[in-house]
């Protein structure tokens, strides 16, 4: 391995040097490539593919180098997890706001959707409870979601950020149901 390494070392150094912005890290990366190649030599299928194999290891090692340099923010020491009860209370509050829009759907969609989304019942249980096949229950839940979304979009305008998260909404002036309190 050492003699083959010597044959390719200069070319690998140039390859790494062209891709790494830190000249002092080139030799460290090259050393990592040699160590990885030496310890994984048994994975090499044929001696003829050694050069390509070394370049692949070098590429992966360069990617690791940059991955390790990714910036990250330290979390504050006083960060506290959200209270489980508050999360559950928020979920229930949202569910109650959604219930009137779900109730507007035909029963064949509203019942399975309510059971799945508001009550958290597994789809197989819903199928058994409603006398449907599993695929039938899944289909009704999916169609209920589509119809629910149509109702929701009819009643509200949503602001969505680049990540696809809803950041705000404005009720439309239509004949939509208002949540029962």
* Annotated domain spans of the chain: 2-68, 84-171
Query: Residues 72-90: what's their mean pLDDT?
Result: 75
Which residues, listed in sequence order, are joined to residue 168 by a DSSP beta bridge? 159
Residue that wins the pLDDT comparison between 75 and 81: 75
| Whether the Cβ atoms of residue 16 and residue 26 lie closer than 8 Å to each other | yes
Dihedral sign (CA 128, 116, 113, 86)? positive
Q: pTM of the predicted model, to two decimals?
A: 0.46
CATH number of 84-171: 1.10.10.10
Helix (H, G, I), strand (E, B) or coil at 40: coil
CATH 1.10.1740.10 for domain 2-68, yes or no, is yes
> What is the model's pLDDT at position 76?
81
How far is C-alpha 158 from the geometric centre of its chain's CA atoms? 22
Q: How confident is the model at residue 1 (pLDDT cuts 50, 70, 90)?
A: low
| Whether the Cβ atoms of residue 8 and residue 53 lie closer than 8 Å to each other | no
Dihedral sign (CA 116, 156, 169, 101)? negative
Q: Which two tokens stand for residue 113?
A: 């959707």
> What is the model's pLDDT at position 180?
38
pLDDT in tens, 19-41: 998 888 999 999 999 999 888 88
């Amino acid at each position: 391995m050492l003699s083959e390494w010597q044959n390719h070392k200069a070319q690998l150094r140039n390859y790494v040097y062209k891709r790494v912005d830190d000249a002092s890290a080139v030799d460290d990366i090259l050393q990592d490539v040699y160590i990885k190649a030496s310890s994984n030599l048994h994975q090499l299928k044929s001696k003829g593919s050694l050069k390509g194999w070394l370049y692949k290891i070098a590429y992966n090692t360069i990617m690791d180098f940059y991955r390790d340099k990714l910036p990250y923010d330290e979390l504050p020491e006083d960060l506290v997890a959200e209270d489980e009860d508050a999360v559950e209370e928020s979920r229930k509050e949202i569910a109650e706001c959604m219930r009137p829009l779900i109730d507007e759907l035909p029963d064949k969609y509203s019942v399975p959707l309510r059971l799945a989304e508001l009550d958290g019942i597994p789809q197989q249980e819903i199928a058994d409870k409603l006398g449907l096949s599993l695929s039938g229950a899944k289909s009704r839940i999916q169609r209920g979601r589509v119809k629910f979304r149509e109702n929701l979009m009819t009643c509200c305008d949503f602001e969505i950020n680049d990540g696809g998260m809803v950041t705000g909404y404005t009720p439309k002036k239509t004949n939509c149901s208002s949540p029962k309190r």
